[in-house]
Every structure is written in structure tokens, then in C-alpha cells.
Chain A
């Protein structure tokens, strides 16, 4: 029996025993100030000292309450709200915090509670400030947006983590560590904020679901108070038959809450950044896509507006600069206009300094626009602004007289004194050329006359005649008067001095003619072009330029990584691709591509998915490209603009300006095309590479097939013989092996002709080196690497248009590679001209060539004039319609025209711009990103799993009896009211 009794847990909330053996009954009743409990009077365990728990209870009746005033009932209650309500009340409470701040900071009024809340407010405001400061330092909306997303996710995860942690604790133990209550003053507080303060009262009228009811409602439903605490007590495993069970429950709740909140603090430092990082990462792509779409849409609409404006002006045949400016809604910034006007002069004449200032202004304003060149040319050549004039004014005449007088006097002055003494007065006080002489001189020059502007030729001519006339006059009047030699000396010296003085004076008098109207018109015209450039640039930035959030950039961010995943590279392979040199990386990629090519299932999947991705990406960009440069069916906006600007330039500024601008817009056109070609080439090259790997053996056999074996020998045999053939020193197998490796490497790494033509001979031993020996080989390599997709691959892709696009791209690139001017050129423009063959076939009725030729023609678009383009288009369409019979007698002419225009010549620079990334580079970049991502993922998920695991273990151990909580309860013996 004793053991049984001992095993009953007894709740003993407080006092220690002083004399364990002393029976409780012996305690004198007089020492207590409150009535003894029944337990103390009738102790059923006399062998034990018994103690009981006396609830907090006023020592005496509350006499202190003034009469007539009732103490207010405690009106605190538990808060029960869902996550949205909770968020709403949090937001609402910030308004209160602002009030708290005002009162505390400006009036010094407040409490610890209200001042503490100011801290929350300050942290949020400070963080917003930080995000704003960081956002302004970022260049792109995406980066700016991420600052705020980062901030948002940071605070969200800070707020969410205690709830995540709290959920299992609540489920297991019924204790909600985030439980809030409103106290009697209306302040929101956490129930477990201060472990030393347990607001038990608020649990009195709480129903089983945790809702606070009014006492009336509550009493109608339940026959005792604290049913909610009872329920929690059950969950916590508090024995039912003990004294003061609710307090025991509250204490146990306190234990769990302290444990939960400590765990929260232990993990928050890790989990806040981890969750924030994961969520922000997940939000990156949606933000990117949203920005891409919204920005593109906006710019697309703007481009449409521009298109409509240009179209309207073209239709109206407008050539007036002012009207075009209005039509395109171009506005010059007031400051720029003001500055420009301040540089002009009323009479349209400028000193050298003024002219330089104007030039500097224009250069600065249109620097880097690409058409400053046109402006400069217009100013100096067309408008003759850089040829200064001098006006034949009275002042000029007087000054010429003065200059000649001074020059002669100075020349005389240089003579020795004794010579000077003997000179006539006329020479010593020489008066210079007479007014009549000067006027005569002026009248002799071209274009001269009273107060007329002399052009460069005229005033230079005038200047050159002045010394001659002066000396002529001198000699006429002094001949015989003084010594002839002396006169010669004086004349020579005077001539020198006159030249010097007039040169200086001319420099001073030169005026640049800058007619206000003309130069203003030029300025406005430049502003129009600048405005158009800005508008086009904006559109390009959202679409084809590789700038954050553009379509291209987003494609580049996604596609390479997806390709890598599709091909199924493992971690080790990724590491090599990411960090090893290109050759090693290529080997790994080659191995993987071979593997995939060998497995039909995998091959089919990879080709299907990759082509789908490439198509989606290319289609999006192509849409933008077509808008700019048009397609074979329609004209793009750039051609329209070019047309408008050409006519306007020619009408207003002449031919030179027209040509400059035409060049400028053609360049723009080509830029767009190259950029797109580059992206497309990069995206489809891996597809071609995979296709190539599938058929590599055939390609190798094909490569050697065309080497004719000597009579009577098989192809295999010739490689053993020492004959003057290529590959003659190698066995057939070995030659094949080497060639295979070479081709693999070429398609993965070397998308440049220079590598094909100069390196492969080295690989295959015995090959004669030099271009003239390699023509054949190079052609075959080119065909293998940049030929059409194989039939089976085309079938898998199952999209005729897209396959055609890939093939056209490869063809065009192939042609470009082989058209660099070198020893190969001749061969490839004549013997091995792929296009000519296609053109011939088409002209002879092979309608299937149409798509290819149309594609190639589009590729040529930027290299030929619109007229030529239209002509070619017309020829193609006629052939398509009429077949082989088209054009009758003219057929050969038309064909030659087509062949001529569709030939591919390209400069090195444009090839470099058009060539996409080679496969290895393409995968290396992606692998680096994947690896960085996986490192991040390892760390972030490692921390996440570790922390969650630690939390799970801790939560499982919560609320248990432990070192701090001994869980000793006192069995309930009799009815008593202690708080129950």
C-alpha cells in the first residue's frame, strides 16, 4: 500500500520541508494567517509532512476601494486569429507604435511596453531604408526588386519561423508559444513573454476551441471554469487527480513555452536567413519573368507608336524637319535647347572660339550615337561652315593701311641710326597704302565689294596682294631717292612684317558662317535621330540585348542549364566541365554526347526537349527581331525609319548626309540581325552537335570515301602504301579514329574556320599541309559539322519550319566561314558553291528549296539594298509560282542575279559577332552556374535540415520531466476550491 501511495505524483508547488519527520498536525494553527486547509487538518499521511498550495488570495477584504466605485473586472482575453487577421492586426498596431514614438520622443511619455514597441517600428523602418538605399545603387529593376524581395522575405521568415516551430509544439502539447492576449489596458502581449508572469485568469472562460467567451455564454455551455486548461493539461499529461491541477498545467505550459521560445531563439539566427534565401530564390524567376513580360509589352507598345508615327509621316511624304519633329513627338530638353541657342550668334557669324564651342557641344551631345559623324560632315562639307569669311568693311580698309604703315616703319626702325638719319621723311613716317589703293585691291579679288563678305579664296587672295602693292608703291616713289640695295632690304623686311601682321589680323577677322536656321535645323534633325535611337535602344534592351531582364538574358539564364540537365551530366562531370580547361571539358562533353547518341530513348528525349526549348526561346526573340528588321513578308520598323530619314536628309542637307545616315541605319539593322544570329546559333549548336555525334561514324566514312583509291586497290589498302595521297602514312582504322576525334573536338570547341583549315592536317599524319591541299578536306569537314540535320533527327523534332531554320542557319554560317578571303575562296565561290546548287535546283522545279532560299535571302537582307532584296524576293516567288518555266528567256539572267546577290561574303568581325558560343563554352558557363547553385543548395538545405532535425528532437523532449522540472504532484484527497 505504501508503495502505491508513494507512486502517486503529488503536486507541491512551494515550500520546502524544514523537518521532514515532523507531522503536519503539530503545526500550531495560530501561526497561520489564513484558515487552514482541510488537508492540513486531516492529514491522511501522518508519516509525511504535508503541504498544500494556497492560491493567491487577498489577505483581507478590499476595504480600500472607495465607496461607490467598483473595481473594474479584469477584461483581458486571449487573441484567436488566423494568419491573415494576425498580419492585419500587426499592420494596425504599427499605427499605434507611431503614436507611441511621438509621445515618447517628443513628450517623454510612455511605458516600458510602449517604448519597447518603438524598437519594432525602428527596425522595420531602418530595414526599409536599407533596402531603398541598396535598391538605388542597383542598375536594373530586377536587382532593385530583389532588394525589396530580400527584405520582405527576411521579415516574413522572421515572422513565420516561430509559427512553423509553434505548430508541432501546439499539436503535441497544446501550448501555442505564439499565443497573444489583450490585457485590461488593451495592449497586445504574448502570454508567455515573461515566464514569471502567468496570466491565468484569461483562461477562465475559454471554450474547448480556445475562443474566449463572455462569462454568460461560457456558463451556458460549461459547468465549470477553465475547461480549456483542463484540455491542455490532458495533452500535457498532467495527472487528473491532483490538487490545483490548473496551476500545475499552467506551470507545465510555462515549461513548454520557455523551451519553445528558447528553441526559437536558438534557431532563428539560422532559419531566418535560410528561409529568406530559399524563398527569395524561388521568387527570382517569377520576378524575372514578370519584369521581362511587362517591360517588353510596354516597349512593344511604344515601338508600335513609333511605327505608326513614322508610317504617317511617310504616307504624308513629309520632309520638313520641324514637322517630323512634331510628328514623332520629339522634345528637346529645355536646358539643351537653351545651351544650344546661347552658342549661336545673331548674324550667323562666329569667331573661331565660338565655332569650336558649338562643335564641342554637338560632339558631346551626340557622342556615341553613331551619327555624329554625319553631323560633323554636314557642318564642314555640305554647309561649308568650316570655311571662314572676312567682311570687306571700312574698318578692314583702315586697318590694312595701318598695318602697312607700321610694317614699313618697323622695318626702317631696324636700320642703324646713321642710315636712318639720311632717309627721307616720307619713309620714316610712312603712311601706308592709301584708301584708294586698298579699295582697288579689294575690287580685284573675287566676290569682293564694299562691305561684302569675302570667302576663303577671296580674302586669302587679298591678303597675298597687300605686300606686293605696298612695295610697288614704295619703289615707285623712292626709286633713285635712296640707295637701291637699301631699298631692297627695306622692302624685303617690310614684306615679311606685312605678311606676319596680316596673318594675325586675318585670323582675328575670320568669321565662320553658321546660319542660325540651318544649324538649328541640323541640331533638330540630330535630336530626332537621337530620339529614335533611344526609343529603339529601349526596345532592344527588353528583347535582344543581353541586359538583365531582357528576353535574351532570361533565355541565356535558363536554357544552357536545362540542356545540361537533359543530357544527364553527373556531379563529377559537372565539376570537370566547370573548372577544367576547355580540352578536358570537351572530352567529358564528347563522352556524354556519345552516350546519349547511342541510347535511342535518351537521344529522342534529349533532341525533343532541347529543340522545344530552343524553339521557344528563339521564337520569342525572333518576334522582337521581326518587329525591328522585318521578315521576307513584311518590312520592319528600321527600314521605315531609314526611308524617312534618307529622304529628309537629302532634301534638307544634301547627299552626304543622306549617305551617312543610310550607313548608320544599315549598321543598326545588321547589328540586330547579328545579335539574333548569334543567339540562335548558340542555342541550336548543341542540337546539331548531338545529331552529329549520332552520325559521326558515317561522317568519318564519308570523309574518306571521296579519296579515290588507286586503281586495283581498296580504300583500306591505300593507307598502307606510301603514296602521295593524303593520309597515306596511316592505317585506315587509325586515320578514321584520328579523324573522329578531330571532328568531335571541332564541333564542340572549334566553330571557326581557322581551326579547321590549319590544324587537322597536323592531326592526321602525313597530310600535306597548306591550303591548296586542304580544300577538299575542309569542305568535307564543313559539311559534316555544319551540314543539315540528319533525317531521323529532323523526324524527332517534327517541326518542318524549325528544322529548316536550323539548317538555314548552319548553311549560312558554313558559307560565311568558308568565304573569308584566302586561298580557299575561289574554290568555294565556284566549284563548291552550295547556294548556286540550291538556286539551280529550285529554278529547275525543286519547290522544296524555297524555304531554304527564302531563309538565306533573309539572312542576306542587311547586306543588300531593299531594292535588291525586293527584286530577289520577286524572282523567288515567281519561280515558286511558275516552276521551271518561269521568266522564259530571262531565266538565266534572273538566276545569275539571284546567285550574285545571295552569295555570302562576310568580314571577320561580322562572323565573330554572328558565331554563337561553342558548345564547350556554352556548357562550361552553365555548369559553373549549376555548381554554384548546388553549393548554395547544399549549404542552405544542410542548414535547413540540420536545424529542423535539431528542432524536432528538442520538440519531442519538451514538457517532459527533467532536471529543472521534477513533476511532483500531490494527489487530490477531498473537494477543495483552490482555483478549480
Chain B
């Protein structure tokens, strides 16, 4: 049934609807692009028929990350290059990760291409610089991840909310006409938007009593320090959640700036000169995963290795400690000390300000989002001041 209300539902920003206007007008709608909200017989075989809160487990999140990463080249880029009408902002943001991750390595590669490799001395020096650059790129990403994780954990511990909690957004096939490179799910996190937080997903839909329905909110509420014995504890908690999300996001970005600077500063220290990727690799290859070669092979003059499980664990410890932890710690100390006056001031400034910013962030988030900081209006009803004066 074609109704005008249908057409009203579809705003002008919805994609064009296609039909194959070729020789005959009879089958002018490509079956692939048929809408599903009609009487079409086509089965809806989407994995998620509606937006679904997913279990917040590590495995789940990894699976989603992998999925999202693969989708960047396999779905989002083809759809974007084709100019898919139902291309979303989410997809744009996903494609934006591509330059973020390849820009740094390419810059390092360009640097390395420009050094004198014919000259042993300068090639060696350049290799060292290139190593620092590569490390810098690596520690940059590590720094960004650390900043994020500090905030995530703070929020999780103090408020019970996991900012990484994923949900699957079911993509309506009525708008998803495009068939190939089809996209029927987007993975988001519940708290990614402060304006449109998907608080609806947090209700226990199977619950029958307010208490059961609001159990997640009650859990958060307890952490926030609100009275959880009310029927609509969700209404009390939501404004606080919004505030938390905004503060957390702001500090995540701010801390990222500090931690990436720290990361680059540490990557630039001498401590890393003594460690080599080759040594690390060989230690792992021979010392940890090396095959135990039988006597026969030994007779043929091969390298004999007889490694007990204990040896292997020990070697693994050596690999991790000598090649990662020790230089990491040393580089931190060297960054603090500096090798001249300016660099020592810079190092101390970066380290201290990072520490200070982290403490401020944790302090503010735990302090300012607490319900105890907010005035409760007692006006007969169970209303609650959002705290947004």
C-alpha cells in the first residue's frame, strides 16, 4: 500500500528510490532494492532486527573492533566512494581512522627514504633516528590508548558505567537500498553521544516491576549516591550520566594530548638504543617458541636447544623485561632527567603536568558527578534538579 504518510516518513534526506527504467516499465523496481516494510516476501535475515545492547565482554568488544576495522575497507570505503545515499556520519568517522593510522608510519618511512644509506655511518645514525620515529609513532598510539583507558576505568569504577559498552544498531532495510556492500548493522557504544545517549537500551525490558525495569539505573544510582528506592530512579540518574559522559569525553581528549606528548618524549630517549626489535624477535623465536631439536638433528650439526617449560617462561620474562619494560622505565627516567637544561625542564614539565592533569581529571569526575554535589528539589514530587544551573 502506498500511502502519503509513508512518503512523509521518508524525509527528503532519505535516499532516492530506484527503479530500473529501461525498456519495459513492468519490473521497474530492482528486487534487491525493495523495501522490507512492504509486503515484500523477502525475508529479513538481518542479524539484529532492532537495536540491541550487547554483552560487555572483552571478547565481544574485540570481535566488534575486528568487525569495525574490516568494515572500513570492505564496506565504508566502497559505499563512500560510490556516494551511497544512506551513507552515515558514523561511516565517515570510521573512514577517518584510516589516515590517523597510516599517516605516522608513512611520515617515518619518508624520513627513512631520505637518509644516506650508502654511508655506513650515517645509515646507522639514521636507522637509530628511524627507530625512534617508529617507536614514537607506536608510543603515540599507546599514549592515546592509555589516556582513554584511565578515564574509562575511572568512570567504570566510580559510576559503574562502562563507556565502552557496545550495542548493535540495526540498520533499517527501508533506507538501506543499496544491496552490495550492504550494511545492516553498525556497532556503537551506548554512551557515545551526550545528546542522544541510548539510555533506552539500559532498561530491563523483561522486567515487570519498576524495580526490575530500572535495575541498571539502580546500580548506577547507588554509585552516584542517589536514593535508589524510588520508582523512577532512572530519571534521577540520567542527568548525572549525561554530565559524566561530557566530562569523561572532554578529559579523554585532554589527557590524550598529555599522554601522547609523554609517549613521544619517552620514545626519543637513549634507553631504546640498547634494545632491538631483532633481539626481541630472536628471543621469542628461539628462546620461547624454539623447537626442541632431537639428537639426530644435533648430530647433523644443527643448533641444539633443550628448553624446558621453565626455561621458556624465563625467556619470555627476559624478552618482556629486557626489551620492553626495562627500556620503558629507563626512558621515563631519562626523559625526566633530560640531557640538557631545556630538555630536563621539558621532561619534568610534561611528566608533572600529565600527572597533574590525570589527577585533576579523576578528581573532577569522581567529585563533580556525584549526586551529593547536586541539590535535590523537594517539591512534593520526586523531581530532581539536574544540576545544570
Contacts and interface: CB of A to CB of B under 8 A. Distances in A.
Interface of A: 3, 6, 9-18, 20, 24, 27, 31-34, 36, 47-49, 51-57, 59, 100-101, 104-112, 115, 118-119, 121-123, 125-126, 129-130, 132-134, 136-137, 154, 193-198, 200, 244, 247-248, 250-251, 254-259, 261-263, 265-266, 268-270, 272-274, 276-277, 578-579, 925, 927-929, 931-933, 935-936, 938-940, 943, 954, 958-959, 962-968, 979
Contact of A936 (B110, B246, B261, B342): B110
B228 interface: no
Interface in B192-225: 193-196
A266 B16 contact: no
Interface of B: 1-8, 10-23, 25-29, 33-35, 38-40, 76-77, 79-89, 92, 95-96, 98-104, 106-107, 109-111, 113-119, 122, 178-180, 193-196, 242-244, 246-247, 249-251, 253-254, 256-258, 260-261, 264-265, 268, 338-340, 342-343, 345-347, 350, 361, 364, 368-369, 387-388
Contacts of A24: 2
B347 to A, nearest CB: 8
Contacts of A51: 2, 7
A32 B115 CA distance: 73
A738 to B, nearest CB: 31
Given A36-B4, A134-B264, A265-B96, A966 B19 contact: yes
A276 B7 contact: no
A105 B255 CA distance: 11
- Which of A31, A137, A200, A257 neighbours the largest number of chain B CB atoms within 10 Å of its CB? A137
Contacts of A129: 257-258, 261, 350
A119 B18 CA distance: 39
A195 B254 contact: no
A194 B196 CA distance: 15
Contact of A262 (B77, B104, B114, B250): B77
B256 A18 contact: no
A55 B110 contact: no
Contacts of B86: 195-196
A132 B16 contact: no
B249 to A, nearest CB: 5
A273 B250 contact: no
B102 A270 contact: yes
A55 B116 CA distance: 65
B39 A198 contact: no
Nearest to B101: A269
Contacts of B347: 133
The A contact surface, by secondary structure, is: helix
Question: Which 9 pairs show the lowest CB-CB distances between chains A and B?
Answer: A262-B80, A126-B257, A269-B99, A936-B114, A255-B83, A108-B243, A966-B18, A104-B250, A269-B102
A274 B84 CA distance: 29
A103 to B, nearest CB: 8
Contacts of B17: 12-16, 968
A52 B81 CA distance: 29
- Which of B5, B115, B119, B268 neighbours the largest number of chain A CB atoms within 10 Å of its CB? B119
Contact of A130 (B89, B118, B180, B261): B261
A126 B256 CA distance: 8
Given A126-B258, A265-B99, A940 B87 contact: no
Nearest to A962: B82
Contacts of A248: 16
Contact of A11 (B16, B261, B339): B16
Contacts of A259: 80-83
Given A14-B10, A195-B89, A112 B195 contact: yes
B110 A254 contact: no
A77 B197 CA distance: 29
A939 B16 contact: no
B83 A54 contact: no
A279 to B, nearest CB: 12
Given A51-B7, A936-B113, A965-B83, A119 B369 contact: no
A109 to B, nearest CB: 6
- Which of A57, A255, A925 neighbours the largest number of chain B CB atoms within 10 Å of its CB? A255
A108 B224 CA distance: 15
Nearest to B35: A16
Given A17-B2, A32-B3, A34-B4, A130 B18 contact: no
Contacts of B22: 6
Contacts of B364: 105-106
A111 B86 CA distance: 25
B231 to A, nearest CB: 26
Contact of B83 (A56, A256, A578): A256
Contacts of B195: 111-112
Contacts of B256: 122-123, 126
B74 to A, nearest CB: 14
15 contacts: A11-B16, A15-B6, A18-B2, A54-B4, A105-B247, A105-B250, A107-B368, A133-B347, A136-B345, A262-B76, A266-B81, A273-B107, A932-B117, A963-B82, A965-B82
Given A262-B80, A266-B81, A13 B12 contact: yes
Given A272-B103, A963-B178, A254 B85 contact: yes
A161 to B, nearest CB: 9
A925 B118 CA distance: 9
B194 A18 contact: no
B246 A109 contact: yes
B316 to A, nearest CB: 33
Contacts of B361: 105
A578 B115 CA distance: 13
A265 B92 contact: yes
Given A14-B14, A137-B346, A195-B89, 14 more contacts: A15-B2, A15-B17, A20-B27, A104-B249, A105-B361, A108-B242, A112-B193, A121-B253, A133-B268, A154-B107, A257-B83, A272-B103, A274-B110, A964-B82
B94 to A, nearest CB: 9
Contacts of B82: 259, 962-965
A863 B17 CA distance: 95
Contact of A109 (B27, B35, B254, B388): B388
A125 B257 contact: yes
A14 B15 CA distance: 7
Contacts of B34: 16
B67 to A, nearest CB: 19
A736 B254 CA distance: 78
- Which of B101, B118, B249 neighbours the largest number of chain A CB atoms within 10 Å of its CB? B118
Contacts of B13: 195-198, 250-251, 254
A276 to B, nearest CB: 7
B7 A54 contact: yes
A959 B346 CA distance: 51
Contacts of A104: 246-247, 249-250
B260 A32 contact: no
Given A13-B16, A20-B26, A939-B110, A263 B2 contact: no
- Which of B34, B92, B111, B243 neighbours the largest number of chain A CB atoms within 10 Å of its CB? B92
A202 B14 CA distance: 18
- Which of B6, B99, B342 neighbours the largest number of chain A CB atoms within 10 Å of its CB? B99
Contacts of B387: 108
A414 to B, nearest CB: 60
Nearest to A108: B243
Contacts of B33: 16
A277 B107 CA distance: 8
A269 B254 contact: no
A968 B21 CA distance: 7
Nearest to B179: A963
A26 to B, nearest CB: 11
A935 B123 CA distance: 14
Nearest to B257: A126
A56 B345 CA distance: 61
Given A108-B246, A118-B254, A133 B8 contact: no
B357 to A, nearest CB: 10
A932 B112 CA distance: 9
A255 B29 CA distance: 21
